């Protein structure tokens, strides 16, 4: 008896078809899985055996051969349990073959027959939809699968639930798409930050235009505090963005209760984090923090403390919006269009600018410390600001600042303006930060005075072509915040102030 059922394998965000073939033949009772399985797949045998036993079914005393085809791609993970078990059930005539026909199945089996959640259900569902197939997945992932358009999803809690559904004993309802609750109140408010008026303004500009930012200042100035409040003023993800972000989290197995992600997650890996955890990799070429931060904020606190290799590896995603994860036998490419927010002290002790507290090696220590960040990385950051210490007066008697809610509204309006402006330019540009040279020339017209100021500044500060574009991008955002079509002189002046001299 021969049966087949479809499942998938993942290579980066690419979904590949895998055929699970099950054959029962007379001969020595044996259960074999072939087709380049990794350890988790090979262990599938025991889980399938136990899960069938939990339903009161014993494996037939025959030679059972399972083949995962095509045999030349590595099969990884535990999601092959369910298709193998379903193929066996058909081969054993416990369910009719049309129950699994035209379906893609994935799920892990527990020893008691329950179907445990697995990663990658959303991309698998989108793949099933494109092929006009149905999807059979774990109950816990049903809410996630239901987000794919036009795909019939069956999300049984256990193998028995599936069999009962097929036999019409207990019919399952299709899962409903679940969404993350975004009405929750902003917990970290910009109003909590005393003083730091110009840093708060820069944060608003950064949020509005999607720019990268580097904050430099002494310890305790409030840099981490500022960064943590950025997600609170960013608009929720657009529907397609939400799907993309959720897909990567699904692949990484990091989706909370299978809900679609709407708020922009804030990824802030520690500087001691390893290369694979940051840029992706490891045994299964999993997505790393830069991919989990796709379309959202990647906050790197104490930037110079990150391993040199990690900082260099960041260049690729900052330039191309993608990251290639290499491993022994394959490459996987993940999207990684991040908004980079970085913070650092000006030197190791942090007090270089304060002559009373600076160490004896100042300013050389600062030069050494800042040299850890390479030029190409600095070049990719549109906005550089100094965050000085808050004065005692501002700490004890602060002026009332605006709340995150009010700022978020302005940011949202500016983002919508950009979305409609860049629509004719295709999917690649949605914010000013993503606009390239030619696009900028078209969308950021200067008036006479601003043109002169920019020209003079370019000569005086010896701006590189990249540096010039950076200023241009920021002026576009500044003008957008004021709903100004033409760039004015004060926009150029402010944009020029978001530069910093490095030692």
Q: Which is nearer to Mg ion, 303 or 381 (CB)?
A: 303
H helices of 329-372, in order, are 364-370
CA separation for the pair 450, 294 (Å, rounded): 35
φ/ψ of 383, rounded to 5, equals: -120, 120
When binding is defined by CB under 6 A, the residue of 70, 174, 219, 282 that contacts ligand ADP is: 219
Alpha-carbon span 220 to 212, nearest angstrom: 22
| Member of 41, 161, 203, 221 binding ligand ADP (CB under 6 A) | 221
Cβ-count burial of 268 within 10 angstroms (0-12 exposed, 13-18 middle, 19+ buried)?
A: middle
Q: Does 163 bind ligand ADP (CB under 6 A)?
A: no
Whether 304 and 214 have beta carbons less than 8 Å apart is answered as: no
> Which of Mg ion, ligand ADP, none binds 195 (CB below 5-8 Å, type-dependent)?
ligand ADP
Q: Is 351 helix (H, G, I), strand (E, B) or coil?
A: coil
**At closest approach, how far in Å is the CB of 190 from Mg ion?**
16
Query: Per rule CB under 6 A, is residue 214 in the interface with ligand ADP?
Result: no
Q: Count residues near ligand ADP (CB under 6 A).
A: 14
Give the pairing of strands 115-116 and 14-25. Answer: unpaired
Nearer to ligand ADP, 70 or 219 (CB): 219
Q: Which does 225 bind (CB under 5 to 8 A by kind): ligand ADP, Mg ion, none?
A: ligand ADP
C-alpha of 196 from chain center = 30
Q: Hey, which residues between 120 and 139 contact ligand ADP (CB under 6 A)?
A: none
Residue 345 C-beta: closest distance to ligand ADP, Å: 8
The tokens describing 423, both together, are 């629509």
Ramachandran angles phi, psi of 361, nearest 5°: -90, -5
Task: Considering only the stretches 220-228, 462-470, 473-481, 492-500, report the one whose residues sit in contact with ligand ADP under the rule CB under 6 A.
Answer: 220-228
Which of 156, 366 has the CB closer to ligand ADP? 366
338 three-class SS: coil
d(CA 204, CA 64): 63
> Residue 202 interacts with ligand ADP (CB under 6 A)?
no
Q: What's phi and psi for 129, nearest 5 deg? A: -60, -40
Token pair of 72, please?
């030349």
Contacts of 291 (CB under 8 A, 6+ apart): 248, 252, 280, 323, 334, 335, 336
33 three-class SS: strand
Residue 222 binds to ligand ADP (criterion: CB under 6 A): yes
Tokens of 167: 């036999």
Chain position whose Cβ is nearest to Mg ion: 224
Asked if 29 is part of the footprint of ligand ADP (rule: CB under 6 A), the reply reads no
Report if residue 271 touches Mg ion, rule: CB under 5 A. no
DSSP code of residue 158? B
- Residue 198 interacts, among Mg ion, ligand ADP, none and using kind-specific CB cut-offs from 5 to 8 Å, with none
231 binds ligand ADP (CB under 6 A): no
Which among ligand ADP, Mg ion, none contacts residue 445 (Cβ within 5 to 8 A by kind)? none
Beta carbon nearer to ligand ADP, 305 or 413:
305
Binding-site size, Mg ion (CB under 5 A): 1
225: contact with ligand ADP by CB under 6 A: yes
Q: CB-based contacts of 472: which residues, under 8 Å, 6+ apart?
A: 440, 444, 454, 495
Residue 268 in the binding site for Mg ion (CB under 5 A)? no
Rounded to an integer, what distance in angstroms lies between the CA atom of residue 299 and that of residue 213?
10
Interacting residues of 84 by C-beta distance below 8 A, sequence separation 6+: 20, 22, 33, 44, 48, 66
Maximal C-alpha separation, the chain: 89
Cα–Cα distance, 482 to 205 (Å, whole number): 11
Nearest Cα neighbor of 435 from 469, 410, 466, 393 is: 469
274 near Mg ion, rule: CB under 5 A: no
Binding of Mg ion at residue 403 (CB under 5 A)? Answer: no
Q: Binding marks (x or -) toward Mg ion, 197..236, rule CB under 5 A?
A: ---------------------------x------------
Give the interface segment with ligand ADP, choosing from 10-18, 181-189, 217-225, 430-438 (CB under 6 A).
217-225
Minimal distance, residue 389 CB to ligand ADP, in Å: 8
Task: Give, as ranges, the residues between 167 and 196 that touch ligand ADP (CB under 6 A).
Answer: 193-196
Cβ proximity to ligand ADP, 267 vs 337, nearer residue: 267
Residue 220 touches which of Mg ion, ligand ADP, none (CB < 5 to 8 A by kind)?
ligand ADP
Q: Does 220 bind ligand ADP (CB under 6 A)?
A: yes
Judged by DSSP in three states, 47 sits in: helix
The pattern of x and - marking residues 414 through 453 that bind ligand ADP according to CB under 6 A reads ----------------------------------------
Site stretch for ligand ADP (CB under 6 A), options 89-97, 179-187, 222-230, 292-300: 222-230
Phi, psi of 136 (to 5 degrees): -115, 120
Question: Is-cis flag, bond preceding 363, omega within 30?
Answer: yes
Site string for ligand ADP, 390-409 (x = CB under 6 A): x-------------------
Query: In the bound complex, what is the minimum distance in angstroms from residue 210's beta carbon to ligand ADP?
Result: 23
The binding site for Mg ion (CB under 5 A) comprises: 224
The binding site for ligand ADP (CB under 6 A) comprises: 193-196, 217, 219-225, 343, 390
């Amino acid at each position: 008896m021969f049966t087949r059922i479809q499942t998938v394998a993942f290579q980066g965000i690419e979904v590949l078809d895998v055929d699970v073939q099950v054959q029962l033949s007379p001969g020595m009772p044996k259960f074999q899985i072939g087709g380049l399985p990794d350890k988790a797949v090979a262990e599938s045998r025991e889980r399938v055996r136990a899960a069938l036993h939990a339903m009161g079914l014993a494996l037939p005393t025959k030679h059972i051969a399972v083949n995962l085809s095509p045999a030349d791609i590595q099969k990884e993970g535990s999601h092959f349990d369910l298709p193998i078990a379903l193929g066996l059930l058909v081969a054993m005539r416990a369910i009719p073959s049309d129950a699994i026909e035209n379906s893609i199945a994935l799920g892990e089996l527990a020893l008691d027959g329950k179907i445990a959640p697995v990663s990658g259900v959303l991309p698998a569902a989108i793949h099933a939809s494109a092929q006009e197939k149905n999807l059979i997945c774990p109950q816990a992932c049903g809410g996630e699968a239901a987000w794919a358009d036009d795909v019939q999803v069956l999300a049984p809690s256990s193998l028995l639930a599936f069999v009962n559904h097929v036999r019409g004993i207990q019919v399952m309802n299709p899962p409903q798409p679940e969404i993350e609750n975004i009405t929750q109140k902003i917990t970290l408010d910009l109003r909590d930050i005393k003083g730091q008026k110009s840093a708060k303004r820069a944060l608003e500009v950064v949020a509005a235009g999607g720019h990268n930012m580097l904050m430099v200042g002494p310890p305790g100035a409030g840099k981490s505090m500022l960064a943590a409040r950025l997600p609170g003023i960013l608009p929720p993800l657009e529907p397609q963005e939400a799907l993309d972000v959720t897909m990567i989290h699904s692949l990484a197995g990091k989706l909370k209760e299978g809900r679609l992600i709407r708020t922009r997650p804030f990824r802030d890996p520690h500087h001691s984090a390893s290369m694979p955890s940051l840029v992706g990799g490891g045994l299964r070429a999993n997505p790393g923090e830069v991919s989990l931060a796709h379309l959202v904020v990647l906050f790197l606190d104490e930037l110079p403390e990150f391993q040199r290799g990690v900082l260099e590896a960041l260049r690729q995603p900052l330039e191309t919006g993608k990251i290639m994860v290499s491993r022994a036998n394959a490459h996987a490419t993940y999207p990684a269009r991040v908004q980079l927010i970085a913070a650092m002290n000006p030197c190791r002790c942090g007090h270089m600018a304060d002559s009373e507290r600076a160490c004896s090696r100042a300013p050389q220590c600062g030069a050494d410390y800042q040299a850890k960040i390479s030029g190409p990385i600095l070049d990719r950051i549109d906005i550089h600001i100094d965050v000085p210490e808050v004065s005692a007066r501002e700490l004890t008697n602060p002026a009332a600042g605006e709340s995150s809610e009010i700022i978020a509204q302005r940011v949202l309006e500016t983002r919508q303006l950009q979305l409609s402006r860049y629509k004719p330019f295709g999917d690649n540009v949605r914010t000013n930060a993503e606009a390239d040279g030619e696009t900028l020339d078209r969308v950021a017209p200067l008036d006479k005075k601003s043109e002169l100021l920019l020209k003079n500044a370019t000569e005086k500060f010896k701006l590189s072509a990249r540096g010039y574009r950076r200023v241009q991008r920021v002026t576009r955002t500044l003008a957008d915040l004021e709903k100004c079509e033409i760039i004015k002189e004060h926009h150029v002046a402010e944009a020029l102030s978001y530069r910093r001299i490095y030692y």
